[in-house]
Structure 1
Amino acid sequence: MLDELLPDGIAYVPFFPLGGFTPLQSSTLSAVGRRLGATPMQVALAWLLRRSPNILLIPGTSSLKHLRENLAAAALNLPEDVFGELDRVAADVGFA
């Protein structure tokens, strides 16, 4: 769906971008986070931001600490192999 919206300049806003991970997704996000020195949520946000330019993320938080972590995700560099790994996990659960 994301790829179909992009040519028309239509943004996609995931309602709950950091919720509902499967055990496979959670373990992969945690493993990648350990390798990159980031939280699993930062990895998830960084992947979503890189996945498509028409994704508009609005992750909610009531904590200043989590807000700072969420903002830092925008600067997290996902190497190609990591991006591919996350894409495959997302495809396995029907997201990508």
Structure 2
Amino acid sequence: MAKLEEWGYRLTEDRTGSITAVTELLARAAVTDGGRRISLHLADQDHQALILVLSHQNGHAPEGEDLLREVTALGVVSCGTDTDQEDGGRRRWALTDLGG
């Protein structure tokens, strides 16, 4: 949240809570892959933020739909998961509106 504020976004308490909850869900899911580390990436464009979490673990099980339902319920614009062939981990991401 500090980085978004540094970039000039002034978010309501509701938006802050939602973005934090999305980030925590994605991070928890990455940790369950069993790797020793995860990466969290944040980008913004056109008053939207992309939250990307990468687990650096090969051989993980396919993602269930439950995670995407939980993330969607937090009001994101879109979300998804895929596998990063280069890094060998699963990417989990959410795009959320930061307001205008």
Q: TM-score, normalised by structure 2?
A: 0.30
**Larger strand percent:** 2
Give the TM-score normalised by structure 1. Answer: 0.30
Identify the structure with bigger relative contact order (alpha carbons < 8 Å, sequence gap 6+).
1
**Larger helix proportion of the pair:** 1
